[in-house]
Amino acid sequence: MTDEPKTIAFVLYPGLTLLDLAGPLQVLGALSELGMPYRAVTVAERKEPMGTDTPLSLLATHTFAEVPRPAAVMVPGGGAPTMRALTDETLLSYLRGAAESAEFMTSVCTGAMILGAAGLLEGREATTHWLFLESLKEFGATPARKRWVEDGPMITAAGVSAGIDLALHLVGRIAGDEVQRGVQFMIEYDPEPPLGPLDWSAPPRELFQQWMESSLRQGLEGHPELLARLLVHV
Protein backbone atom coordinates (compact mmCIF):
# COMPACT_ATOMS: atom_id res chain seq x y z
CA MET A 1 0.00 0.00 0.00
CA THR A 2 1.43 3.41 -0.99
CA ASP A 3 1.61 6.46 1.29
CA GLU A 4 -0.25 8.61 -1.21
CA PRO A 5 -3.55 7.19 -2.51
CA LYS A 6 -4.25 7.32 -6.21
CA THR A 7 -6.98 9.77 -7.18
CA ILE A 8 -10.12 8.96 -9.14
CA ALA A 9 -11.49 12.28 -10.43
CA PHE A 10 -15.22 12.58 -11.12
CA VAL A 11 -15.81 15.52 -13.44
CA LEU A 12 -18.58 18.01 -12.69
CA TYR A 13 -20.15 20.49 -15.09
CA PRO A 14 -23.52 22.28 -14.97
CA GLY A 15 -26.58 20.18 -15.81
CA LEU A 16 -25.03 16.72 -15.74
CA THR A 17 -27.18 13.63 -15.11
CA LEU A 18 -26.91 12.92 -11.41
CA LEU A 19 -27.12 9.12 -11.56
CA ASP A 20 -24.32 9.03 -14.14
CA LEU A 21 -22.13 10.47 -11.42
CA ALA A 22 -23.60 9.13 -8.18
CA GLY A 23 -23.71 5.45 -9.14
CA PRO A 24 -20.03 5.12 -10.08
CA LEU A 25 -18.99 7.43 -7.24
CA GLN A 26 -20.71 5.15 -4.71
CA VAL A 27 -19.03 2.07 -6.19
CA LEU A 28 -15.51 3.44 -6.59
CA GLY A 29 -15.66 5.33 -3.31
CA ALA A 30 -15.83 1.92 -1.64
CA LEU A 31 -12.19 1.26 -2.53
CA SER A 32 -10.91 3.58 0.20
CA GLU A 33 -13.44 2.18 2.68
CA LEU A 34 -11.98 -1.27 2.04
CA GLY A 35 -8.44 -0.06 2.66
CA MET A 36 -7.36 0.25 -0.96
CA PRO A 37 -4.94 3.08 -1.82
CA TYR A 38 -7.48 5.10 -3.79
CA ARG A 39 -9.52 8.21 -3.11
CA ALA A 40 -12.51 9.53 -5.02
CA VAL A 41 -12.82 13.30 -5.54
CA THR A 42 -15.03 15.56 -7.61
CA VAL A 43 -13.39 18.14 -9.86
CA ALA A 44 -14.65 21.17 -11.74
CA GLU A 45 -13.33 24.43 -13.13
CA ARG A 46 -14.43 26.23 -9.96
CA LYS A 47 -15.67 25.29 -6.49
CA GLU A 48 -19.15 26.69 -6.72
CA PRO A 49 -22.62 25.11 -6.63
CA MET A 50 -23.82 23.81 -9.97
CA GLY A 51 -27.16 22.34 -10.94
CA THR A 52 -27.82 18.84 -12.23
CA ASP A 53 -30.75 17.36 -14.15
CA THR A 54 -32.52 16.97 -10.79
CA PRO A 55 -33.40 19.55 -8.08
CA LEU A 56 -30.08 18.65 -6.40
CA SER A 57 -27.00 20.85 -6.86
CA LEU A 58 -23.38 19.73 -6.48
CA LEU A 59 -20.17 21.32 -5.22
CA ALA A 60 -16.78 20.04 -6.36
CA THR A 61 -14.21 19.08 -3.74
CA HIS A 62 -11.34 20.20 -6.00
CA THR A 63 -10.66 22.39 -9.00
CA PHE A 64 -9.13 21.06 -12.22
CA ALA A 65 -5.89 22.81 -11.31
CA GLU A 66 -5.72 20.98 -7.97
CA VAL A 67 -5.94 17.52 -9.56
CA PRO A 68 -3.89 17.74 -12.78
CA ARG A 69 -2.72 14.11 -12.87
CA PRO A 70 -5.45 11.77 -11.58
CA ALA A 71 -5.03 8.01 -11.86
CA ALA A 72 -8.51 7.72 -13.34
CA VAL A 73 -11.19 10.09 -14.63
CA MET A 74 -14.94 9.61 -14.94
CA VAL A 75 -17.08 11.92 -17.10
CA PRO A 76 -20.88 11.79 -16.66
CA GLY A 77 -23.35 12.60 -19.41
CA GLY A 78 -26.71 14.28 -19.79
CA GLY A 79 -28.85 16.12 -22.33
CA ALA A 80 -28.50 19.69 -23.59
CA PRO A 81 -25.93 20.69 -20.91
CA THR A 82 -23.69 17.83 -22.02
CA MET A 83 -23.95 18.97 -25.63
CA ARG A 84 -22.93 22.42 -24.39
CA ALA A 85 -19.92 20.84 -22.67
CA LEU A 86 -18.70 19.53 -26.03
CA THR A 87 -17.46 23.05 -26.73
CA ASP A 88 -16.15 23.86 -23.24
CA GLU A 89 -12.46 24.21 -23.99
CA THR A 90 -11.48 24.45 -20.30
CA LEU A 91 -13.09 21.07 -19.63
CA LEU A 92 -11.74 19.50 -22.83
CA SER A 93 -8.23 20.77 -22.11
CA TYR A 94 -8.35 19.26 -18.63
CA LEU A 95 -9.35 15.87 -20.04
CA ARG A 96 -6.57 15.95 -22.63
CA GLY A 97 -4.01 16.76 -19.96
CA ALA A 98 -5.30 14.12 -17.56
CA ALA A 99 -5.27 11.50 -20.32
CA GLU A 100 -1.52 11.92 -20.76
CA SER A 101 -0.87 10.03 -17.51
CA ALA A 102 -4.16 8.52 -16.30
CA GLU A 103 -4.45 4.74 -16.16
CA PHE A 104 -8.14 4.94 -17.03
CA MET A 105 -10.29 7.57 -18.75
CA THR A 106 -13.95 6.62 -18.36
CA SER A 107 -17.38 7.97 -19.18
CA VAL A 108 -21.03 7.21 -18.58
CA CYS A 109 -23.80 7.80 -21.10
CA THR A 110 -23.22 10.86 -23.31
CA GLY A 111 -20.09 11.64 -21.30
CA ALA A 112 -18.43 9.60 -24.07
CA MET A 113 -19.19 12.43 -26.47
CA ILE A 114 -17.20 14.78 -24.25
CA LEU A 115 -14.24 12.38 -24.37
CA GLY A 116 -14.76 12.30 -28.13
CA ALA A 117 -14.83 16.10 -28.39
CA ALA A 118 -11.52 16.14 -26.50
CA GLY A 119 -10.06 13.92 -29.23
CA LEU A 120 -9.61 10.92 -26.94
CA LEU A 121 -11.76 8.35 -28.78
CA GLU A 122 -10.18 8.66 -32.22
CA GLY A 123 -9.70 5.17 -33.64
CA ARG A 124 -11.18 3.47 -30.57
CA GLU A 125 -14.28 1.40 -29.96
CA ALA A 126 -16.72 3.12 -27.61
CA THR A 127 -20.32 3.19 -26.44
CA THR A 128 -22.77 5.74 -25.09
CA HIS A 129 -26.52 6.15 -24.60
CA TRP A 130 -28.29 4.27 -27.39
CA LEU A 131 -29.93 7.43 -28.74
CA PHE A 132 -26.52 8.99 -29.39
CA LEU A 133 -24.53 5.88 -30.24
CA GLU A 134 -24.08 6.62 -33.95
CA SER A 135 -22.98 10.17 -33.09
CA LEU A 136 -19.69 8.76 -31.82
CA LYS A 137 -18.64 8.36 -35.46
CA GLU A 138 -18.32 12.15 -35.65
CA PHE A 139 -15.46 11.93 -33.16
CA GLY A 140 -13.59 9.17 -34.97
CA ALA A 141 -14.83 6.36 -32.71
CA THR A 142 -16.32 3.01 -33.68
CA PRO A 143 -19.75 2.70 -31.97
CA ALA A 144 -20.39 -0.56 -30.08
CA ARG A 145 -23.82 -1.59 -28.77
CA LYS A 146 -22.48 -2.93 -25.46
CA ARG A 147 -23.08 -2.25 -21.77
CA TRP A 148 -19.51 -1.00 -21.47
CA VAL A 149 -16.48 -1.00 -23.74
CA GLU A 150 -12.80 -1.02 -22.78
CA ASP A 151 -10.33 0.02 -25.46
CA GLY A 152 -6.89 0.75 -24.07
CA PRO A 153 -7.19 3.24 -21.20
CA MET A 154 -10.64 4.35 -22.41
CA ILE A 155 -13.68 2.69 -20.80
CA THR A 156 -17.09 3.96 -21.87
CA ALA A 157 -20.48 2.91 -20.54
CA ALA A 158 -23.93 3.02 -22.13
CA GLY A 159 -26.80 5.02 -20.64
CA VAL A 160 -27.11 6.10 -17.01
CA SER A 161 -27.41 2.87 -14.99
CA ALA A 162 -24.62 1.27 -17.05
CA GLY A 163 -22.24 3.49 -15.10
CA ILE A 164 -22.63 1.16 -12.12
CA ASP A 165 -21.56 -1.78 -14.28
CA LEU A 166 -18.55 0.15 -15.58
CA ALA A 167 -17.56 1.13 -12.06
CA LEU A 168 -17.79 -2.46 -10.82
CA HIS A 169 -15.69 -3.57 -13.80
CA LEU A 170 -13.12 -0.93 -12.88
CA VAL A 171 -13.06 -2.12 -9.26
CA GLY A 172 -12.28 -5.57 -10.62
CA ARG A 173 -9.49 -4.20 -12.80
CA ILE A 174 -8.00 -2.37 -9.84
CA ALA A 175 -8.56 -4.81 -6.97
CA GLY A 176 -9.66 -8.16 -8.42
CA ASP A 177 -12.83 -10.18 -8.70
CA GLU A 178 -13.23 -10.85 -4.97
CA VAL A 179 -13.33 -7.16 -4.10
CA GLN A 180 -15.57 -6.44 -7.09
CA ARG A 181 -18.07 -9.04 -5.93
CA GLY A 182 -17.85 -7.72 -2.37
CA VAL A 183 -18.70 -4.18 -3.50
CA GLN A 184 -21.61 -5.54 -5.53
CA PHE A 185 -22.93 -7.20 -2.38
CA MET A 186 -22.34 -4.03 -0.35
CA ILE A 187 -24.58 -1.96 -2.63
CA GLU A 188 -26.95 -4.91 -3.25
CA TYR A 189 -26.65 -4.47 -6.97
CA ASP A 190 -28.81 -7.31 -8.28
CA PRO A 191 -31.35 -5.55 -10.51
CA GLU A 192 -34.78 -7.00 -11.19
CA PRO A 193 -36.68 -4.26 -13.09
CA PRO A 194 -40.49 -4.49 -12.83
CA LEU A 195 -40.99 -5.13 -16.56
CA GLY A 196 -37.97 -7.39 -16.94
CA PRO A 197 -35.05 -6.89 -19.35
CA LEU A 198 -35.30 -4.50 -22.29
CA ASP A 199 -35.93 -5.67 -25.84
CA TRP A 200 -33.06 -4.07 -27.75
CA SER A 201 -34.42 -5.24 -31.08
CA ALA A 202 -37.05 -2.49 -30.92
CA PRO A 203 -36.01 0.53 -28.80
CA PRO A 204 -38.65 3.34 -28.82
CA ARG A 205 -36.50 5.86 -30.67
CA GLU A 206 -39.47 7.85 -31.96
CA LEU A 207 -40.54 8.52 -28.35
CA PHE A 208 -37.33 10.45 -27.67
CA GLN A 209 -36.44 11.84 -31.08
CA GLN A 210 -37.78 15.32 -30.34
CA TRP A 211 -35.93 15.41 -27.01
CA MET A 212 -32.69 14.36 -28.71
CA GLU A 213 -32.95 17.05 -31.38
CA SER A 214 -33.88 19.68 -28.80
CA SER A 215 -30.88 18.72 -26.63
CA LEU A 216 -28.55 19.14 -29.57
CA ARG A 217 -30.04 22.46 -30.70
CA GLN A 218 -30.07 23.97 -27.20
CA GLY A 219 -26.62 22.73 -26.27
CA LEU A 220 -24.88 23.61 -29.52
CA GLU A 221 -26.51 26.96 -30.24
CA GLY A 222 -23.75 29.09 -31.67
CA HIS A 223 -21.83 26.07 -33.00
CA PRO A 224 -23.63 25.35 -36.28
CA GLU A 225 -20.94 23.16 -37.80
CA LEU A 226 -20.87 20.62 -34.97
CA LEU A 227 -24.66 20.84 -34.63
CA ALA A 228 -25.14 19.95 -38.30
CA ARG A 229 -22.77 16.97 -38.00
CA LEU A 230 -24.60 15.55 -35.00
CA LEU A 231 -28.13 16.23 -36.27
CA VAL A 232 -27.43 13.75 -39.08
CA HIS A 233 -27.78 10.97 -36.50
CA VAL A 234 -31.12 12.09 -35.04
Measured CA to CA in angstroms, residue 114 lies from 13, 172, 176 at distances of: 11, 25, 29
Residue 187 annotated as catalytic = no
Position 81 scores a pLDDT of 98
Run means of pLDDT, 10 residues per run, the chain, 234 residues: 83 98 97 96 97 98 98 98 98 98 98 98 98 98 98 98 98 97 97 95 95 98 98 96
Position 22 scores a pLDDT of 98
CA–CA separation, 214 vs 106, rounded Å?
26
Q: Which amino acid is at 169?
A: H
Q: What is the pTM of this model?
A: 0.97
- Superfamily grouping for domain 6-192: Class I glutamine amidotransferase (GATase) domain (3.40.50.880)
Position 1 scores a pLDDT of 45
Please tell me which residue in 92, 109, 164, 212 is annotated as part of the active site. 109
